[in-house]
Amino acid sequence: MQHYRPETLCVQGGYTPGNGEPRQIPIVQSTTFKYATSQDMGKLFDLEANGYFYSRLQNPTCDYVAAKIAALEGGTAAMLTSSGQAANFFALFNIATCGDHIVSSSSIYGGTFNLIAVTMAKMGIQVTFVSPDCSDEELEAAFRPNTKAVFGETIANPALTVLDIERFAAAAHAHGVPLIVDNTFATPVGCRPFDWGADIVTHSTTKYMDGHG
């Protein structure tokens, strides 16, 4: 696989225009998309064809931006959600369901702490919080037979504690579960968690990723 500098990926990643196509990613503002027949639409609904029919589900601009972030992170694929909290929720809730358990760093964004400790607890998902500086023995003791994922932040918001991604990834993988890392503060320019063993990376793009927050 060819490697590019982050500066190049910021400009060029995720989008390769063809002849006569816009040089920059176009902003597609339509909520719906036209098809000649209902059969064409039916193929989209049945996942037999690729395409767009409603921007709440997929939108070309969003797909290009997701592809750019995936390229910056060195990931396989990406998707956009309505918020960073939605990204964390989907990442966790697609893996852990009622009756399952999560191990999480205790030094994470307050909204994410509340999401895991309160909101997801109401859905029957339990959590054990560990300090990012915990001993190997304490980290190992946090796991249960029903643990489905490990969660942490590259650089915690707002405590600024740094997660030892390699160590948490090794512990997660030893138990056959993925490590999910919120990389909002670092961005892929500062750190690429996949390079250190993370399996899923999330962002709140209204912070450093977009450069205005």
**Catalytic residue of the set 5, 23, 34, 56:** 56
* CA pair distance 117, 144, nearest whole angstrom: 17
**Catalytic residue of the set 43, 144, 167, 207:** 207
- pLDDT grade, residue 213 (50/70/90)? low
**Catalytic residue of the set 63, 100, 148, 182:** 182
Is the pLDDT at 163 greater than 90? The verdict is: yes
- Inter-residue contact 73 to 189 (CB < 8 Å): no
Is the pLDDT at 118 greater than 70? The verdict is: yes
Domains, the chain, ordered by start: 6-73 (no CATH), 84-202 (3.40.640.10)
Structure confidence by residue, pLDDT tens digits, 28-37: 999 999 999 9
Share of the chain above pLDDT 70, in %: 98
Residue 54 known to be catalytic: no
Residue 34 known to be catalytic: no
The contacts of residue 176 (CB under 8 Å, 6+ apart) are: none
Mean pLDDT, the chain, rounded, equals 94
pLDDT of residue 1: 47
The alpha carbon of 139 is separated from its chain's Cα centroid by a whole number of angstroms, namely 23
Query: Model-level pTM greater than 0.75?
Result: yes
Mean pLDDT of 106-125: 97
The two structure tokens encoding residue 202 = 């999330």
Residue 100 known to be catalytic: no
Residue 182 known to be catalytic: yes
**Catalytic residue of the set 15, 64, 109, 208:** 109
pLDDT of residue 184: 96
Structure confidence by residue, pLDDT tens digits, 104-114: 999 999 999 99
